[in-house]
Amino acid sequence: MFNNKDEKPFLVSFDTAVLQPVVINNKVFTKAISYSGESKMIGKKPYDIVRYSCSYYGSSFQQSTKLSKEAIGNYLKLPILIAHDFGSPCILIPILSPKSDLNTWFSLGAIESFYPSEGGCTIALPNGQTIQVPSSSNTISRQVGFANILNMHFLKRMSHLVNNGFITSRKPLFQKDLFG
């Protein structure tokens, strides 16, 4: 049911829709839900998986948080960029404090819709599943807005890399092209 010590650590990927905490016998585990709706129980806390994934993809949780603060401002519960692939960012949104054991992380694209419900808000996923979280719909709206700002900030940076670099031609360069 859970990862044992011989298994590879779980990594967030573009297929990861949700990292949801599950408390069993006073220990926090993670239910990782994919976009297709498949789920897997992981023997780590959601925050530990997010930190490990940032590190694996060449950054750190602190660096990802710093990028978010540069793009959005100094707010609480900022979404973070885990990694990117050919200009497509993998952005995760925390519902509570990122370091909280009970925080649920949603991929930006995994929030199909949301609506107020008893005890917080219900979030609908693209696969038809719903997840109730202890946050208001106003908070979820704010989080999704922040994640979209981070997404636009990232896309502008990537556009700058392609369009405003020293060399704008995409053709291969040879020594004679550089030195005459």
pLDDT tens-digit map of 137-163:
999 999 999 999 999 888 887 776 666
Q: Is the pLDDT of residue 87 over 90?
A: no
Structure tokens at 13: 């990927």
Higher pLDDT, 14 or 170: 14
Measure the CA–CA gap between 128 and 119, rounded to whole angstroms.
Answer: 21
Q: What percent of the chain has pLDDT over 70?
A: 83
Give the amino acid at 131. I
Give the amino acid at 120. G
Supply the pLDDT for residue 48.
96
Closest CA to 154 of 92, 89, 90: 89
Higher pLDDT, 80 or 171: 80
Q: How far apart are the first and last CA of the chain?
A: 64
Helix axis angle, 46-56 to 61-72, nearest 10°: 90
Q: Is the pLDDT of residue 169 over 60?
A: no
Measure the CA–CA gap between 10 and 138, rounded to whole angstroms.
Answer: 31
Structure tokens at 113: 């819709």
| Dihedral, CA of residue 25, residue 125, residue 80 and residue 33, to nearest 10 | 40
Kindly state the helix (H) or strand (E) to which residue 160 belongs, with its residue range: helix 137-163
Measure the CA–CA gap between 180 and 176, rounded to whole angstroms.
Answer: 5
Which range among 15-24, 119-128, 150-159 shows the weakest confidence by mean pLDDT?
A: 150-159
Structure tokens at 43: 């023997």
* CB within 8 Å of 158: residues ≥ 6 apart: 84, 87
Kindly state the helix (H) or strand (E) to which residue 50 belongs, with its residue range: helix 46-56
Average pLDDT, the chain: 86
Supply the pLDDT for residue 153.
87
Measure the CA–CA gap between 25 and 27, rounded to whole angstroms.
Answer: 5
User: How many residues in total does the chain contain?
Assistant: 180
Supply the pLDDT for residue 85.
74
